[in-house]
Structure 1
Amino acid sequence: MAEKIEIQEEAVDEGKNPFVEGIRRALLASVGAVSVAQGEAEKFVKRLVEKGEIAEKDGRALLNDLAENRKQRAQESSKRVSDELEKRMEGLLNRMNIPTKSDIEQLSNKVAELTKKIETLKEQK
């Protein structure tokens, strides 16, 4: 029932960002934990079906509900990680005095606005 996932650890390059490396390791650990939990849930439901405590149809429905719940939580977790990574990257860019995409867009909007004002002033003269 459960797919076996083989995870191979790569050698850590000294030049890698420790923050990104930490995220990578946490994600690998969570994938392993999810795989183990799914396998245990399937074994548990299979035992319940074998004992006749629940119908096979109900067991499949239960496993599907668990998978859907896990998928939803993974999406929420992914969103949180993405948001946190974006905040940290923006902070890093600010510390390095590198403009972000939003900074450049704001400046572009201001330049466009000023250009319109200059064109209006030229037409008035």
Structure 2
Amino acid sequence: MNSAVAIDPRAAHRTCDPVFEKVGLRCIRLKLARQCVSASVGTFFAADKVLLGWAMHHLEPLECEFEIVYDDGRTLAGEYRFQRRRTTRPALMAFVRRTLRGLCADTGKAAPMWGLIEGPHSFLAHYETEDFTSA
């Protein structure tokens, strides 16, 4: 996997501003791979609830394509694999953060993610990757 990342020139003004808000989440689109099942939600918590519902009906691991759309139009996409066990729940938000941190470490073990124009450090600093609500 090529770890070279193109830097977005628009990112420079955000890092110079000492008081900036992270770019908010517009929606998360989920699509169950190899099936005509999809959903669009507004939070990572809601995405996990959809994934859990899908997992209840499948014994084999789920392969889900996701697309996270931010308020500024930036889109981050990838694939999330999940298998429900008794004690585990889907955690798309944790997967995205873990993948971005893996890209920061440049170990070559991070899952592929598309739409990352800025470096992963900058993305984590400027874009919401956490839910602040649980509903």
* TM-score normalised to structure 2 length: 0.26
Task: Find the structure with the greater CA-based Rg.
Answer: 1
Give the structure with the higher percent strand. 2
Give the structure with the higher percent helix. 1
* TM-score normalised to structure 1 length: 0.28
